[in-house]
């Protein structure tokens, strides 16, 4: 069995009852070392109460079952202190429905409901795919259960350390300007770093997922080093569902399958959840740069080889050939949005496509995939799902993967390779001050159909695109090993490029002096360059898909 240690009991022993506090419940909890007390809404203004409380108990009233909404709303903040909330529903079916609807409206993490009742919870605030509910939560208690059963449930779900009120938190954005992280985030940080006296967080600019990323420095109150030298962390702060999903995937995917030195280690004791947000803390990957930075400096080839042949090798070894039609996957998972609707290029970008040389609408390209792609077996297995050029860090020749929120266990392996190639294109050329026209001309041979049938992708080393050519040659050498049928990677890559063009963000919007550059105009800054490159991804995706369509329609060998 695993190494265990003797526990002297919970750190937080108090259980706050709102309203009814039956004598049997008090006795059952006291026998287990807990201290029941009457909790009032006026107590919430004093963090002292919730800092010592491990659970809050609410009782739904038969005569006014909808009143539970107001109580849940009032006491939901207890979740941010890591208090569990237990609700004994009124012994009536309609009353319980009112409770379930209240939880959904307030978007509070539920526990203790059955499969049939899951229909009451919907929206992007809940993840039905997770096999269990992470604490803290709102747990539904059967009114017919004994108080001894209830007390045992509390004992088996103890709260963690209370937030440390004296912790000094300093947070800043990517420009070094102080930021207000908000009340819930403040409490999460005080819980995560409860044994520290000071935490400094510096915003990181990478990523479009909506989850804040920070480089963090924690100064322990009683450090083992006997000094004040800080420990460096990587911190992600965002919506509860996204954080919980990534935490789960780190534990079941990265830590179990990727070599220990090729993925950041979670600091599980510092990963916490609140009512609507969560915090993930991992060791910082010291001495690393993004694979985009490495590739642009001519050091990408060995890192890409390491990524596929070492870091992700266990995933490839476990992959299986399946009858999944690749065309269906492209249409449903890449060229459709989260609501199952076909993707569309945003208006601010679509109006410039023709000037950049586009000849087909996105509807035309969808039809190409629908009609021309043959139904062939695909190599499927575990994929990262978001393997863009800043989610792979390079340390020496080692490739370290981060950001596992979108890991999937049954997707085509080619998806990761295509994401990396398109990601290097999107992020690698934003520092290139050539026009989109010149960049496309330098890469034109790379996106002809014939280029996917050979690996001789070289260009003159004096060409500013040489770094990209070298990197792509290595990616496609890896991709060939993931193909069940010739040109599958080309189809995947064309779809991924089109998806990149459908990103809704206007990267040049709100930037002083920024404007959308024309096809043959030099970008004035990296924001205008980023928007121009996003437009260019459509042209590349179109070129690949139309070329494949022409090859299929003329009956050329594949």
CATH of the domain at 176: 3.30.200.20
Identify the helix (H) or strand (E) that includes residue 37.
Answer: strand 35-38
Work out how many domains the chain is built from and give that number.
3
Cα atoms found within 13 Å of the Cα of residue 262, Cβ hemisphere only: 21
Q: Per mean pLDDT, which range of 88-92, 166-170, 216-220 is the poorest?
A: 88-92
Backbone φ, ψ for residue 212 (5° rounding): -75, 135
Q: What is the CATH number of the domain that holds 61?
A: 3.40.50
Residues 142 and 268 in one domain: no
127-185 pLDDT, tens digit per residue, is 888 888 899 999 999 999 999 999 999 999 999 999 999 999 999 988 889 999 999 99
The pLDDT score that the predictor gives to residue 54 is 93
Give pLDDT, residue 94.
Answer: 86
What does the angle CA 61 – CA 126 – CA 185 come to, to the nearest 5 degrees? Answer: 90
Say if residue 136 is preceded by a cis peptide, omega within 30 of 0.
Answer: yes
* Residue 276 reports pLDDT greater than 90: yes
pLDDT tens track for 377-410: 899 999 999 999 889 999 988 999 988 888 888 8
- Average pLDDT of the chain is 88
Higher-pLDDT residue of 183 and 456 is: 183
In the predicted model, is pLDDT for residue 558 greater than 60?
A: no
Q: Look at strands 408-412 and 378-383 and give their pairing.
A: antiparallel
Question: At 87, which helix (H) or strand (E)?
Answer: strand 84-88
526 inside domain: yes
What pTM was estimated for this model as a whole? 0.85
| Last-in-domain residue among 283, 313, 342 | 283
- The stretch 508-524 carries a mean pLDDT of 70
Look at residue 557 and tell me whether its pLDDT is greater than 50: no
Residues in Cβ contact with 304 at an 8 Å cutoff, skipping those fewer than 6 apart:
291, 295, 399, 420, 471, 474, 475, 478
Domain residues for the domain of 42 are 14-155
186 shares a domain with 142: no
Q: How does residue 46 score in pLDDT terms, banded at 50, 70 and 90?
A: confident
| Residue pLDDT, tens place only, 184-193 | 999 999 999 9
Tell me, yes or no, whether 160 lies in a domain: no
The verdict on 457 and 523 lying in the same domain is yes
What pLDDT does residue 514 have?
A: 57
Question: Is 370 in the same domain as 451?
Answer: yes
Burial grade of 552 (CB within 10 A; 0-12, 13-18, 19 or more): middle
User: Over 70: is that where the pLDDT of 227 sits?
Assistant: no
- Supply 514's token pair: 């920024």
Cβ burial 70-93 (10 Å sphere, 16+ → b, else e) = ebbeebbbbbbbbbbbbbbbbeee
Domain membership flag for residue 86: yes
Tell whether 545 is covered by a domain: yes
Residue 385, C-beta contacts closer than 8 angstroms, at least 6 positions apart: 405, 406, 407, 408, 411, 415, 416, 419
Question: What is the mean predicted confidence (pLDDT) over 538-552?
Answer: 90
Tokens of 316: 């490839």
Which residues on neighbouring strands pair with residue 196, listed in sequence order?
Answer: 220
Q: DSSP letter at 266?
A: B
pLDDT value at position 21? 92
| Token representation of residue 102 | 């209240």
149: number of Cβ within 10 Å: 12
Residue 275 vs residues 234, 278, 290: alpha-carbon distances, Å:
22, 8, 33
pLDDT at 553: 58
Can you spell out the DSSP letters for 44-62? GG-HHHHHTEEEEEEE--S
Q: Using CA atoms, how far apart are residues 85 and 137, in angstroms rounded to an integer?
A: 6
Tell me if 412 sits within 8 A of 444, measured CB to CB. no
Same domain, yes or no: 269 and 360: no
98 & 26 share domain: yes
141, 173: one domain: no
The verdict on residue 463 lying in a domain is: yes
> Residue 308 sits in a domain of what CATH number?
3.90.1200
- Strand, helix or coil for residue 321: strand
E-strand ranges in 435-540 read none
- Percentage of the chain beyond pLDDT 90 is 58
Residues 406 and 537 in one domain: yes
Q: What are 420-435's pLDDT values in tens digits?
A: 999 999 999 988 888 8
- Does pLDDT of 554 surpass 60? no
Percent of the chain with pLDDT over 70: 94
Is the per-residue pLDDT at 209 higher than 70? no
168 versus 206: the higher-pLDDT residue is 168
> What is the Cα–Cα distance from 226 to 206, expressed in whole angstroms?
35
Beta strands 378-383 and 168-172: pairing type? unpaired
pLDDT in tens, 12-22: 899 999 988 99
Q: Cα 195 to the chain's mean position, in Å?
A: 27
User: What is d(CA 79, CA 73) in angstroms, rounded to the nearest whole number?
Assistant: 11
> Do 86 and 44 lie in a common domain?
yes
Who's near 161: CB < 8 A, 6+ residues apart? 11, 82, 191, 194, 195
> Which DSSP letter does residue 308 get?
I
| Chain mean position to CA 25 | 41
334 and 400 share one domain: yes
User: What is the enclosing helix (H) or strand (E) of 334?
Assistant: none
The 10s digit of each residue's pLDDT in 479-488 is 999 999 899 9
Dihedral sign, Cα of residue 215, residue 221, residue 223, residue 228: positive
Nearest to 193 by CA among 221, 171, 215: 221
Least Cα distance to 430 among 365, 524, 545 occurs for 524
Mean pLDDT, residues 223-250: 85
Last residue of a domain, one of 134, 155, 176: 155
From 230, 260, 283, the end of a domain falls on 283
């Amino acid at each position: 069995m695993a190494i265990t240690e003797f526990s002297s009991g919970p750190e937080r022993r108090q259980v706050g009852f709102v309203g009814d506090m039956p004598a049997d419940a008090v006795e059952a909890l006291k026998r287990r070392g807990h201290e029941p007390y009457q909790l009032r809404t006026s107590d919430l203004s004093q963090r002292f109460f919730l800092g010592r409380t491990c659970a809050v108990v609410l009782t739904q009233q038969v005569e006014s079952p909808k009143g539970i909404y107001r109580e849940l709303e009032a006491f939901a903040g207890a979740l941010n202190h890591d208090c569990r909330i237990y609700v004994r529903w009124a012994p009536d079916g309609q009353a319980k429905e009112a409770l379930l609807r209240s939880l959904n409206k307030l978007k509070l993490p539920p526990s203790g409901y059955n499969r049939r009742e899951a229909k009451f919870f919907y929206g992007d605030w809940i993840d039905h795919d997770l096999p269990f509910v992470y604490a803290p939560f709102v747990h539904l208690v059967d009114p017919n259960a004994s108080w001894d059963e209830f007390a045992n449930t509390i004992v088996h779900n103890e709260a963690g350390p209370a937030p440390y009120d004296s912790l000094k938190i300093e947070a800043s954005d990517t420009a070094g300007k102080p930021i207000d992280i908000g009340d819930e985030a403040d409490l999460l940080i005080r819980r995560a770093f409860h044994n520290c006296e000071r935490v400094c967080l510096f915003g990181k600019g990478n990523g479009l997922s909506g989850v804040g990323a920070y480089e963090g420095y924690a100064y322990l109150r009683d450090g083992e080093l006997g000094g004040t030298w800080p420990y460096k962390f990587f911190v992600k702060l965002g919506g509860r569902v996204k954080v919980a999903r990534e935490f789960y995937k780190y534990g079941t995917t990265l830590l179990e399958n990727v070599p220990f030195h090729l993925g950041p280690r979670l600091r599980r004791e510092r990963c916490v959840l609140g009512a609507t947000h969560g915090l993930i803390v991992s060791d910082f990957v010291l001495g690393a740069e993004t694979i985009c930075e490495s590739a642009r400096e001519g050091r990408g080839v060995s890192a890409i080889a390491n990524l596929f042949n070492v870091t992700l090798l266990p995933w490839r070894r476990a992959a299986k050939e399946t009858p999944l039609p690749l065309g269906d996957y492209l249409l449903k998972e890449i060229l459709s949005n989260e609501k199952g609707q076909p993707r569309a290029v945003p208006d601010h970008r679509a109006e410039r496509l023709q000037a950049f040389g586009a000849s087909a609408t996105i509807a035309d390209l969808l039809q190409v995939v629908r009609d021309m792609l043959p139904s062939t077996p695909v190599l499927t297995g575990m994929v990262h799902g978001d393997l863009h050029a800043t989610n792979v860090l390079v340390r020496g020749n080692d490739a370290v993967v981060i950001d596992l929120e979108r890991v999937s266990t049954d997707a085509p392996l080619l998806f990761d390779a295509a994401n990396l190639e398109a990601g290097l294109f999107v992020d690698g050329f934003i520092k290139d001050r050539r026009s989109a026209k010149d960049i496309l001309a330098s890469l034109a041979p790379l996106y002809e159909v014939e280029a996917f049938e050979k690996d001789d992708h070289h260009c003159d080393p004096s060409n500013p695109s040489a770094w990209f050519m070298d990197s792509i040659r290595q990616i496609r050498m890896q991709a060939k090993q993931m193909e069940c049928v010739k040109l599958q990677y080309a189809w995947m890559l064309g779809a991924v490029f089109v998806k990149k063009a459908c990103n809704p963000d206007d990267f040049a919007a709100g930037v002083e002096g920024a404007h959308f550059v024309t096809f043959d105009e030099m970008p004035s800054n990296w924001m205008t360059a980023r928007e121009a490159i996003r437009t260019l991804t459509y042209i590349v995706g179109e070129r690949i898909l139309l070329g494949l369509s022409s090859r299929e329609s003329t009956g050329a060998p594949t």
